[in-house]
Amino acid sequence: MHSEPYLLDPSADGVHVLWHTGAPASGAVLLGNRRVEATSSALVALHDEDGVRATVYRHWADVRGLGAGRTPYRVVTVLSDGAVDESDTYTLAPAVPGGHPVRLLLTSDHQLWRMTPANLAKVAETVGVELDGVLFAGDMVGVPARAGDWFDHPNGRGFFAALTGRADTVIAGRHYRGAPLLQHAPLFPAIGNHEVMGRRHHTLQERFDDPAPGDWDTAAYEELFPVPRGPAGPRWWSRTIGDVFVVSLFVTRAWRDPVATYLEPGQFLFERVDAGSPQHTWLTAELGSAAARAARFRVVVFHHASHGLGAHVVPAYTDPVEAGGRYAYPVENDVVLRDLAPLLGAAGVDLVLNGHNHLWNRFRDAAGVNWLESSNVGNSYGAFPERGDPGGLAPVLPTVAPLTDPAGTPLPYVADDDVTVFSVLDSAAGAVHSYRFDTRDPDGPVVLFDELPLD
């Protein structure tokens, strides 16, 4: 295994470059005549399928002293036997200065699903790979401690493989490789339930399937994405990206079987975000900061969606309440709706990006906050329009080219295992543009189907 480089957390004059090898090695980033040595270390959180620690070395270079704009770079890796490997040439850049417009890919829920490489290939064809960032609302892989899910899964759709153009998957006779996005654009991640491992069991799958309160970790995520960091490390953070202030939160819970959820008390929230919790207190301060107020747009990213037409919006995001041997989740106790939504509205947040349901839908609340899920990337878990949004909002119809039902009625969602969706925040345009591509027709168009105005 030998991964392509990926970028994290640009600063005023630098950016972090990371890559991985399956054997001990040293490495450096080459920028013209300049050479920046990487710090190499063995990761401890990744494992093989049978639970044996995988041999994965991380190479991490903190490149500083960059001028404005893009600089070509390569990474060079020297293995312990002296073999040298040089990457192709890509470009990196320091943080876009405050006030400047940016283009950010909004994505989530890749999880090695069938359509993900096609989706990313169409992103690159439509808006290129030299974006200012990739905002990822959680659920990157299936089992986060499984090394193959990140790098070289047998299905050819590992997380980094797809996001660096090294995937290999075929739909309708067309080979899709993903796209070299992360070599050029920094990843700004958030934690989904698929970034959390339980610790009680032996096999990786059992550990993932059965976390317990106080007995879980995000160690793999934190080794792969050590920056950006906030006061609690990489689990939540804020950054200014050009004219957009971005906050990433850790808002997700243990996934449980929908029937067992009501029969057992196993459902629980991971990091708390209730009013008074450290994360909520920090968020309140961040949204009131000079950086947040000065930005043209404020965007908050977290995995769990409490507004939506998808399957995983229910039950409400709260602790179970026992009644007569069953467990209820009162919607009035939904932590996102009760404790986050009013704060986001009062702070003038323009956009919340969620994931988890694997569909596209969006809402606008009375305070003017837009709630978008654009997670019909690799597959879908369906839409339930007859149930509606448990949070009480009406879905917004796509403004340009909605899909329609068989009677020709426009649909306020995309929930489809053949049609893949991506969204791009274009702050110069003051809008999020959402696109769809029907993988059954490999020569068909990428269709702009929704324009979400942020002003």
Binding site for Fe ion (CB under 5 A): 139, 192-193, 356
Q: Which is nearer to Fe ion, 311 or 351 (CB)?
A: 311
In the bound complex, which residue of the shown chain has the CB atom lying closest to Fe ion? 356
Q: Minimum CB separation from Fe ion for residue 113, in Å? A: 12
Q: Which is nearer to Fe ion, 20 or 356 (CB)?
A: 356
Q: Which is nearer to Fe ion, 139 or 271 (CB)?
A: 139
Q: Which is nearer to Fe ion, 45 or 313 (CB)?
A: 313
List 73's β-bridge partners, or say none: 90
Q: Which is nearer to Fe ion, 111 or 238 (CB)?
A: 111
Q: Degrees (nearest 5) of the Cα angle 71, 77, 79? A: 175
Q: Which is nearer to Fe ion, 129 or 204 (CB)?
A: 204
- The residues, ordered by sequence, that sit 6+ positions from 438 with a Cβ below 8 Å of its Cβ are 418, 419, 444
Q: Minimum CB separation from Fe ion for residue 128, in Å? A: 29
Q: Which is nearer to Fe ion, 193 or 248 (CB)?
A: 193
d(CA 55, CA 64): 29
Q: Minimum CB separation from Fe ion for residue 391, in Å? A: 17
Q: Which is nearer to Fe ion, 139 or 149 (CB)?
A: 139
d(CA 377, CA 140): 11
Q: Minimum CB separation from Fe ion for residue 66, in Å? A: 35
Q: Which is nearer to Fe ion, 256 or 356 (CB)?
A: 356
113 CB-contact burial (10 Å; exposed 0-12 / middle 13-18 / buried 19+): buried
List 105's β-bridge partners, or say none: 134, 424
Q: Minimum CB separation from Fe ion for residue 116, in Å? A: 15
Q: Which is nearer to Fe ion, 176 or 317 (CB)?
A: 317
According to the 3-state scheme, what is the secondary structure of the chain?
A: CECCCEEECCCCCCEEEEEEECCCEEEEEEECCEEEECEEEECCCCECCCCCECCCEEEEEEECCCCCCCEEEEEEEEECCCCEEECCCEEECCCCCCCCCCEEEEECCCCCCCCHHHHHHHHHHHHCCCCCEEEECCCCCCCCCEHHHHCCCCCCCCHHHHHECCCCEEECCEEECCCECCCCCCEEECCCHHHCEECCCCCHHHHHHCCECCEEECHHHHHHCCCCCECCECCCEEEEECCEEEEECCCCECCCCCCHHHHCCCCCECCCCCCCCHHHHHHHHHHCCHHHHHCCEEEEECCCCCCCCEHHHCCCCCCCEEECCEEECCHHHCHHHHHHHHHHHHCCCCEEEECCCCCEEEEECCCCCEEEEECCCCCCCCECCCCCCCCCCCCCCCCCCCCECCCCCECCCECCCCEEEEEEEECCCCEEEEEEEECCCCCCCEEEEEEEECC
Q: Minimum CB separation from Fe ion for residue 252, in Å? A: 6
Q: Minimum CB separation from Fe ion for residue 163, in Å? A: 18
Q: Minimum CB separation from Fe ion for residue 354, in Å? A: 10
Examine residue 390 and say whether the peptide bond preceding it is cis (omega within 30 degrees of 0): no
d(CA 160, CA 166): 8
d(CA 407, CA 130): 41
Q: Minimum CB separation from Fe ion for residue 364, in Å? A: 23
Q: Minimum CB separation from Fe ion for residue 143, in Å? A: 13
Q: Which is nearer to Fe ion, 139 or 223 (CB)?
A: 139
Q: Minimum CB separation from Fe ion for residue 208, in Å? A: 12
Q: Which is nearer to Fe ion, 255 or 437 (CB)?
A: 255
Q: Minimum CB separation from Fe ion for residue 355, in Å? A: 6
